[in-house]
Structure 1
């Protein structure tokens, strides 16, 4: 799953050959709702994810994007509604076939190598050759013995991705993984994500970056006030949104 990808200039789409998706698709959410203190933060979402595209979830702050992917991953329980993966209700076995990377990396206070070793140990005896291959893939092998906390922000996020990829997930959720990173770090992470997608991992990625979405996305989910306004192929979305609020969003006029 650690194949390389070709990259053009920063303003062009990433090119990657597509492998067959792994077994959790399709995903279907029906009436998915999360209410806290009587307020619906995710509001009766119906969503189908069938293709092994990179799905970008976009929308203003507070639209419910992060809550939605946590629901889809099973990190939080919906107030009502259902989530199925490959025709079965979301369960713990399915969660183990998924991984998530957050905006702020969640790392152990150990060495870079030990962070990956810990994840690999969850699946069996530690495979040092596999660990080194993963670290080389994300450009961190030379930092293997260094404490993770001494890495730069971009390097820490690459280590978080390495930990996620060590699980060989069918589905990888990414919650604004490149926010606040410099352009070079952003593009490096995009390359790693695109490589995972090319090898068959379904990517569900939250971003506020239009350029990033244009480079990576196969389809766009636009959220507003806890609901899904649009779900459409990326090229169609950026060329002609289906809703007036979609037009406003692209023009920078939409707010929560």
Structure 2
């Protein structure tokens, strides 16, 4: 039986840059189930928190504690950026690369790539350079590239921020399926409607700290703090 990498705990996590505190102190536990949405105004620390959880951001103070060793953690989590990075290769090669990197046979990797291309409606683009895709197609490719190794935990930083409605619907549909299949998801978004559609729980950041968190339904029905209430109304906080 494979040991879970979760829960992940941030304990007293602080991030400073050039003497300025960007995040913290933060205490947060990411359990084994759920679709967590991280919300907050611009500059509240959403991206810094996501990067700290994933391990891309070094903590100035505190620690991130996983339930498994770092080798397992690196293999079983993935991160999708707001602006996806495309390798200068075909769509097929972009999809197959994570599997090849971890020792999969070329034929198996190509078959998996073709399967995922079908899921994200890019079969006809398999041999096109990934850099020629539209913004929505790139984001779907980045998401499929992250999911092709079946991570236990997926981080997404504003994945639909620059996309039209159709591309956003496609990505949300894919995320819902993966969540139902058991993938633990933590996602930052500025889109209130998207948060209502996807979240099981909310982390609301303000000034680099967790101002409020809990199940999504009561948060949206009646936030516990005036600041969260103002944010939900679209006011500046």
The equivalent position to 1:147 in structure 2, one of 129, 132, 135, is 129
Q: State yes or no: 1:228 paired with 2:210.
A: yes
CA distance in 1, matches of 2:74, 2:63: 15
Please state whether the residue corresponding to 1:178 is helix, strand or coil: coil
CA contact (8 A) 1:172 1:201 kept: yes
Q: 1:188 Cα shift? A: 0.1
The equivalent position to 1:83 in structure 2, one of 47, 56, 64, is 64
Which residue of structure 2 lines up, in the alignment, with residue 252 of structure 1? Answer: 234
- List structure 1 runs of 4+ shifted beyond 6 angstroms: none
Which residue of structure 1 lines up, in the alignment, with residue 80 of structure 2? Answer: 101
Please state whether the residue corresponding to 2:14 is helix, strand or coil: strand
The alpha-carbon distance between structure 1 residues 51 and 98, as it changes in their structure 2 partners (threshold 3 A), is closer
Q: 1:192 Cα shift? A: 1.0
CA distance in 2, matches of 1:92, 1:227: 29
Q: State yes or no: 1:48 paired with 2:16.
A: no
Which residue of structure 2 lines up, in the alignment, with residue 65 of structure 1? Answer: 46
Matches within 5 A, 1:18-57: 23-57=4-38
Q: State yes or no: 1:112 paired with 2:91.
A: yes
CA contact (8 A) 2:11 2:64 kept: yes
Q: 1:95 Cα shift? A: 2.3
Please state whether the residue corresponding to 1:104 is helix, strand or coil: coil
Q: 1:34 Cα shift? A: 0.5
1:23-55, Cα deviation, whole Å (9 max, x unpaired): 222221111100112211011101122241110
CA contact (8 A) 1:73 1:95 kept: no
Greater helix content: 2
Please state whether the residue corresponding to 1:223 is helix, strand or coil: strand
Which residue of structure 1 lines up, in the alignment, with residue 113 of structure 2? Answer: 131
Q: 1:211 Cα shift? A: 0.5
Tell me whether 47-56 or 22-31 shows the greater mean CA deviation.
22-31
CA contact (8 A) 2:5 2:72 kept: no
Q: State yes or no: 1:192 paired with 2:174.
A: yes
Tell me whether 55-64 or 117-126 shows the greater mean CA deviation.
117-126
Q: 1:96 Cα shift? A: 2.3
CA contact (8 A) 1:119 1:163 kept: yes
The two structures, once aligned, show a CA RMSD in angstroms of 1.6
CA distance in 1, matches of 2:97, 2:7: 30
Q: 1:92 Cα shift? A: 4.5
Report the TM-score when normalising by structure 1: 0.87
Q: State yes or no: 1:242 paired with 2:224.
A: yes
CA distance in 1, matches of 2:75, 2:120: 22
CA distance in 1, matches of 2:121, 2:35: 23
Structure 1 stretches of 5 or more lacking a match?
1-21
CA distance in 1, matches of 2:161, 2:75: 26
